[in-house]
Amino acid sequence: MDLILFSGRSNQPLSRNLASALDLHPGRCLIEDFPDGEIQIQVKEDIQGCDVYLLQSTDAPAGRNLMELLLLADACRRRGAGRITAVIPYFGYARQDRRVTDEEPVGARVVTDMLATRCDRILAVELHTPAVEGFSSVPLVHVPATPLLAEAFRTHRSERSILVAPDAGAAKLVNRYADLLQLPVAYVQKIRKSGEEVSVEAIIGNVEGRSPVIVDDMISTGGTMVKTIEALLERGALPEVAVLTGHALLVGDAGRKLAKLPIKRIITTDSVLHQGTRSLPLEVHSLAPLLADRIRELRKA
């Protein structure tokens, strides 16, 4: 089956890089907004029987980006695509993997159900939780960004470095980094009070005189990082912090909040676009080679 890659509008630079890593030209399609805000799509290629990949991150505006992906998949299906794979570098709603109270939906399940109506397969990067894979009725291929980020940090590692999991959810993640980087680990006990507000109850492990390397799947509002770094400094950690995170969403005034902290580097990926982050020491590593390798493997299988 001939391979073709189309891009939604959420992350066109990554789509272009992925196309070039795969030695392709991005597929031609028109995506515009109607005056009332609805999305108009026209697939301008003959894709009859093709192996179609659609790249779209579902970061903010998550609903809109998801709808665009679904419409693009529908247009491809109706043009006779042989197989459709949604490539989702940042998978929005993955944090809604369970109900905290019985008043809530399971958002991640809703999203996988919608994707399964139009796509044959999902390829997602550094998911908040592997539970999402279990929700999906079509094959979901998970591509962790951990090895890429660990390699990017390796040259900065010192005998003072200590990996820090900023909450219980990051405990498995930090252990993967510990295996890759052979560093000790500290665990933070975090309580989330609201979407923006968190508090640190305790830190397990001695961080005094150590350079913290905080690992998390994402930075959203920055609340978790701010409270974690403050708590680490109070306990005698050195004011030279590194952060390894798959998705630097940096919503709202996260950039401003983080710029006030002694962060030497934030090593992340290009899963989402970063705007207005000049004051932050962001080191962005492209997912394009990783995604290209995974797509080549999938096509051989």
Point out the residues that are catalytic: 190
Q: Which residue number, 31 or 94, has a Cβ lying nearer to ligand R5P?
A: 94
- Told to check if 216 binds ligand R5P by CB under 6 A, we report yes
**Of residues 90, 140, 20, 61, the one with CA closest to residue 268:** 90
- Told to check if 224 binds ligand R5P by CB under 6 A, we report yes
Q: Which stretch binds ligand R5P (CB under 6 A): 3-11, 146-154, 211-219, 256-264?
A: 211-219
Distance (Å) of CA 9 to CA 39, 77, 187, 276: 11, 19, 38, 19
Q: Which stretch binds ligand R5P (CB under 6 A): 60-68, 72-80, 81-89, 221-229?
A: 221-229
Please state, in angstroms and rounded to a whole number, the distance separating the CA atoms of residues 139 and 65: 21
Among 65, 96, 146, 221, binds ligand R5P (CB under 6 A): 221
Q: Which residue number, 73 or 170, has a Cβ lying nearer to ligand R5P?
A: 170
Residues in the chain: 301
Instruction: Locate 223 and state its tokens.
Output: 């609340």
Q: CB of residue 140 vs ligand R5P: minimum separation in angstroms? A: 19
- Told to check if 252 binds ligand R5P by CB under 6 A, we report no
What SS3 state is found at 10? coil
Interhelix angle 12-21/288-300, nearest 10 degrees: 50
Q: Which stretch binds ligand R5P (CB under 6 A): 36-44, 218-226, 279-287, 289-297?
A: 218-226
- Told to check if 218 binds ligand R5P by CB under 6 A, we report yes
- Told to check if 27 binds ligand R5P by CB under 6 A, we report no
CA–CA–CA angle 134, 116, 271 (5° rounding): 75
Q: Which residue number, 29 or 243, has a Cβ lying nearer to ligand R5P?
A: 243
Q: Which residue number, 218 or 272, has a Cβ lying nearer to ligand R5P?
A: 218
Distance of CA 141 to the CA centre of its chain: 14
Q: Which residue number, 24 or 60, has a Cβ lying nearer to ligand R5P?
A: 60
- Told to check if 219 binds ligand R5P by CB under 6 A, we report yes
Site map 132..171 versus ligand R5P, x via CB under 6 A: ----------------------------------xx-xx-
Please state, in angstroms and rounded to a whole number, the distance separating the CA atoms of residues 263 and 286: 21
Instruction: Locate 192 and state its tokens.
Output: 């989330």
- Told to check if 220 binds ligand R5P by CB under 6 A, we report yes
Please state, in angstroms and rounded to a whole number, the distance separating the CA atoms of residues 184 and 39: 49
Please state, in angstroms and rounded to a whole number, the distance separating the CA atoms of residues 133 and 112: 9
Q: Which stretch binds ligand R5P (CB under 6 A): 30-38, 76-84, 148-156, 215-223?
A: 215-223
Number of H helices, E strands in the chain: 9, 14
Instruction: Locate 61 and state its tokens.
Output: 């505006």
Query: Binding residues for ligand R5P, per CB under 6 A?
Result: 95, 128, 166-167, 169-170, 198, 216-224
